[in-house]
């Protein structure tokens, strides 16, 4: 018998606050976790591999998937589309596997309103300050100054959605934040409604009671 349903584990934050690093670290800690690979219309960055970081699509291909209801969520961010293919996520959850989503607030909101809402757990990651956030964006060396400025202009709008999440963590220190997320995952896995075996187990207790009383 399957012990439980899987968890749709949502991590969101403004760009540079640490959600992607935390998601990778969480998967290194527990290799039963799988990562929801998003589709996107942006160009691949150096070192990114098709099907590992993203499924890279043209605008036409992406919008066709949306029209066919093949996306669990999707959004347009900084001029590009991002979205989560539906089928692999539903299959994983139904088979008891936990899936991590590294997505923005728009995607998180759509997942919370989707058919998998009851399976979802959401965490918003805040930076310790906007100054620290800007410094992190510069330090990772992935984006131009214009892109960094655009991200900073948008970050407060993203942060304004923090209260829509089940949990909110301030990422002052990566290791501390990781331990906090581990604690959340452990507790969520033990919630009564996710442990599918309990109904049959308690029913067996009733049958057993007849033989011992």
Summarised one tens digit per residue, pLDDT across range 154-170 is 888 888 999 999 999 99
Element (H, E) at 26: helix 19-29
Rounded to two decimals, what is the model's pTM? 0.80
Element (H, E) at 73: strand 71-77
Q: What are phi and psi of 59, to 5 degrees?
A: -55, -45
Is the pLDDT confidence value at 20 over 70?
Answer: yes
- The more confident residue out of 195 and 169 is 169
DSSP 95-156: TT--EEEE--HHHHHHHHTSTTGGGEEEEEEEPS-HHHHHHHHHHH--S-HHHHHHHHHHHH
DSSP type of residue 80: E
Q: Kindly report each contact of residues 163-166 with a partner whose C-beta sits within 8 Å and lies 24 or more positions away, as own/partner.
A: 164/105, 164/108, 164/109, 164/112, 164/122, 164/124, 165/10, 165/12, 165/108, 165/122, 165/123, 165/124, 166/121, 166/122, 166/123
| CA gap 64, 29 in Å, rounded | 36
pLDDT reported for residue 62: 96
| CA gap 86, 71 in Å, rounded | 5
**Mean pLDDT for all residues in the chain:** 88
pLDDT reported for residue 38: 87
* Mean pLDDT value of segment 8-17: 89
- The more confident residue out of 167 and 43 is 167
Asked if residue 177 lies in contact with residue 29, where contact means CB atoms within 8 angstroms, the answer is: no
Q: For residue 122, how many C-alpha atoms fall within 13 Å in the half-sphere facing its CB?
A: 23
In this predicted model, what pLDDT tens digit does every residue of 49-62 receive, in sequence order?
888 888 999 999 99
- The more confident residue out of 1 and 166 is 166
19: confidence class by pLDDT, cuts 50, 70, 90? confident
- Helix, strand, coil in percent for the chain, rounding step 5: 50, 20, 30
* Mean pLDDT value of segment 157-186: 94
> Which of 53-67, 148-162, 177-191 is least confident?
148-162
Element (H, E) at 180: helix 174-189
201: confidence class by pLDDT, cuts 50, 70, 90? confident
Asked if residue 40 lies in contact with residue 82, where contact means CB atoms within 8 angstroms, the answer is: yes
In this predicted model, what pLDDT tens digit does every residue of 130-144 receive, in sequence order?
888 787 777 776 777
In this predicted model, what pLDDT tens digit does every residue of 85-109 receive, in sequence order?
998 899 999 999 999 998 888 889 9
Q: Kindly report each contact of residues 26-31 with a partner whose C-beta sits within 8 Å and lies 24 or more positions away, as own/partner.
A: 26/100, 26/178, 26/181, 26/182, 26/185, 27/100, 29/178, 29/182, 30/185
Asked if residue 10 lies in contact with residue 99, where contact means CB atoms within 8 angstroms, the answer is: no
In this predicted model, what pLDDT tens digit does every residue of 79-88 receive, in sequence order?
899 999 998 8
pLDDT reported for residue 213: 64
pLDDT reported for residue 148: 75
Is the pLDDT confidence value at 1 over 80?
Answer: no
Tell me the percentage of the chain whose pLDDT exceeds 70: 97
């Amino acid at each position: 018998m399957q012990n439980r349903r899987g968890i749709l584990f949502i991590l969101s934050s403004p760009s540079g606050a640490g959600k992607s690093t935390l998601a990778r670290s969480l998967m290194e800690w527990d290799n039963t976790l799988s990562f929801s690979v998003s589709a996107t219309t942006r160009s691949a960055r150096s070192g990114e591999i098709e099907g590992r970081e993203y499924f890279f699509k043209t605008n036409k291909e992406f919008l066709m998937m949306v029209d066919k209801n093949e996306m669990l969520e999707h959004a347009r961010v900084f001029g590009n589309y991002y979205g989560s293919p539906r089928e692999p996520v539903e299959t994983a959850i139904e088979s008891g596997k936990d899936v991590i989503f590294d997505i923005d607030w728009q995607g998180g909101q759509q997942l919370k309103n989707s058919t998998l809402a009851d399976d979802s757990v959401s965490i918003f990651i805040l930076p310790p300050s906007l100054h620290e956030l800007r410094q992190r964006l510069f330090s990772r060396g992935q984006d131009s100054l214009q892109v960094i400025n655009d991200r900073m202009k948008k970050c407060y709008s993203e942060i304004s959605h923090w209260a829509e999440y089940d949990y909110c963590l301030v990422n002052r220190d990566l290791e501390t934040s990781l331990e906090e997320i581990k604690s959340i995952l452990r507790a969520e896995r033990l919630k009564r409604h996710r442990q599918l075996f309990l109904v049959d187990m308690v029913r067996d207790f009733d049958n057993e009671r007849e033989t011992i009383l």
